[in-house]
C-alpha cells in the first residue's frame, strides 16, 4: 500500500506532523510519498498513481491542492486541519495518527463531492483562439480585471440563453464551493449531496439577477460580449488562469467533472457541524 502526503510547507507544525506520520506508516509497512513543495518547484507535476490514500496536512487551500493532484481518479482524501478556517478539513492536528489509522481500517465516512470540468477560451488576436482545460473542486470565477471596469457577458445553460449581464463577474461552483466565493457573492449554502452547479452573479448591475442551480447534466457557458470590451480575469479554485500566448478571455464553459472527489471524515454529519460552527456561531447552545 502507498500513501501520498500533501503538507502545507509554509507551516512547520504540518511538516513535522507529516514526518511523524511517515515514521508510523513505515513501521506499519506502508509506503509513503510526499508531494513536492510547489513554491520551490512550481513546474513539477505530482503523480498520485498507485496511491490508496492521500493525506492533506494544512488548511482548505492545501486540501484543494490535494484535490488537484488527485483530479478525477477518485482516490480518497483525508484532510487534517492545520489552517485557520478548516471547513473542508475534518480531523484536528492532534489526531493525525489515529485519523489515518481509522482511514486505513475503513472506519471513516466517505463524502463524494462533485467536481467541475472547465474550458477557458482565449482570443489571441487575428482570429486565433486558444483553449485551456482545468479541474476544479470549488469553482470557476469570471471577474473584472485590474482596471476596475464592469464586464459584460452572456450566460447560457445547455444552449438556453439566460441573460446578458453587466457587473463584477460570475461564479459557477459545486456544492463544495458553495461555501467559498459563491457564498461571498450572495449564493446559498448547498449540501454536498447536490451534484449540479451553483451559479451566482457577482455584483450585477441589476436588481433582477439572482443565483440559480443547475442539474448535474447541464453545461454553463459564459461568453464575453464584444460590444463592451473590458479587461477580465478567470480564476479556477482561486488560481489565476492565463493564456500562454497572452490572449484575452473570450469564453468559459463549465460542466460536471468525470469523477468525484472522495473526502474522508469521522462523522457523517460533519458538513452541518461545520456549517453551524463556521457560519452560524454554533458555539451558542440551543435554548
Enumerate the active-site residues.
60
Q: Where are the beta strands (DSSP E) in the chain?
A: 2-7, 31-34, 53-58, 77-81, 91-92, 109-113, 116-125, 128-136, 139-144, 151-157, 160-167, 169-173, 198-202, 212-213, 219-224, 232-236, 239-241, 248-256, 261-265
Grouping H, G, I as helix, E, B as strand and the rest as coil, residue 63 is helix
Residues 6+ apart with CB under 8 A from 236: 118, 120, 134, 135, 136, 139, 140, 141
DSSP, residue by residue, 139-189 = EEEEEE-TT---EEEEEEETTEEEEEEEESEEEEE-TGGGGTHHHHTTPPP
Q: Which of 112, 238, 117, 222 is nearest to 182 (CA)?
A: 238
Partnered with residue 6 across adjacent β-strands are: 56
Residue identified by cell 489515529 is 98
* CB atoms near residue 210 (< 10 Å): 12
Interstrand relation of 31-34 and 2-7 (parallel, antiparallel or unpaired)? parallel
Grid cell digits, residue 187: 449564493
Residue identified by cell 471547513 is 87
- Side-chain-side CA neighbours of 126 within 13 Å: the count stands at 5
Amino acid at each position: 500500500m502507498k500513501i501520498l502526503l500533501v503538507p502545507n510547507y509554509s507551516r512547520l507544525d504540518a511538516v513535522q506532523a507529516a514526518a511523524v506520520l511517515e515514521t508510523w506508516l513505515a513501521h506499519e509497512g506502508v509506503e509513503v510519498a510526499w508531494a513536492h513543495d510547489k513554491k520551490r518547484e512550481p513546474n513539477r507535476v505530482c503523480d498520485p498513481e498507485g496511491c490508496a490514500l492521500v493525506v492533506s496536512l494544512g488548511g482548505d487551500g492545501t486540501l484543494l491542492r490535494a484535490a488537484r493532484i488527485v483530479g478525477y481518479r477518485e482516490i480518497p482524501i483525508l484532510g487534517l486541519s492545520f489552517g485557520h478556517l478548516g471547513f473542508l478539513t475534518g480531523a484536528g492536528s492532534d489526531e493525525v495518527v489515529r485519523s489515518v489509522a481509522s482511514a486505513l481500517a475503513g472506519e471513516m465516512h466517505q463524502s463524494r463531492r462533485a467536481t467541475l470540468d472547465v474550458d477557458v477560451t482565449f482570443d489571441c488576436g487575428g482570429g486565433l483562439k486558444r483553449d485551456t482545460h482545468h479541474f476544479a473542486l470549488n469553482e470557476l470565477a469570471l471577474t473584472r480585471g485590474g482596471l476596475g471596469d464592469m464586464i459584460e457577458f452572456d450566460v447560457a445553460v445547455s444552449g438556453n440563453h439566460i441573460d446578458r449581464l453587466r457587473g463584477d463577474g460570475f461564479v459557477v461552483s459545486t456544492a463544495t464551493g458553495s461555501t467559498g466565493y459563491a457564498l461571498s457573492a450572495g449564493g446559498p449554502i448547498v449540501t454536498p449531496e447536490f451534484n449540479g452547479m451553483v451559479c451566482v452573479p457577482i455584483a450585477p448591475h441589476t436588481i433582477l439577477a439572482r443565483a440559480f442551480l443547475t442539474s448535474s447534466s447541464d453545461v454553463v457557458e459564459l461568453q464575453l460580449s464584444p460590444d463592451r470590451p473590458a479587461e477580465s480575469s478567470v480564476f479556477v479554485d482561486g488560481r489565476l488562469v492565463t493564456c500562454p500566448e497572452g490572449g484575452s478571455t473570450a469564453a468559459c464553459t463549465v460542466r460536471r467533472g468525470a469523477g468525484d472527489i472522495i473526502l474522508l471524515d469521522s462523522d457523517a454529519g460533519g458538513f452541518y457541524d461545520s456549517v453551524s460552527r463556521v457560519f452560524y456561531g454554533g458555539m451558542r447552545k440551543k435554548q
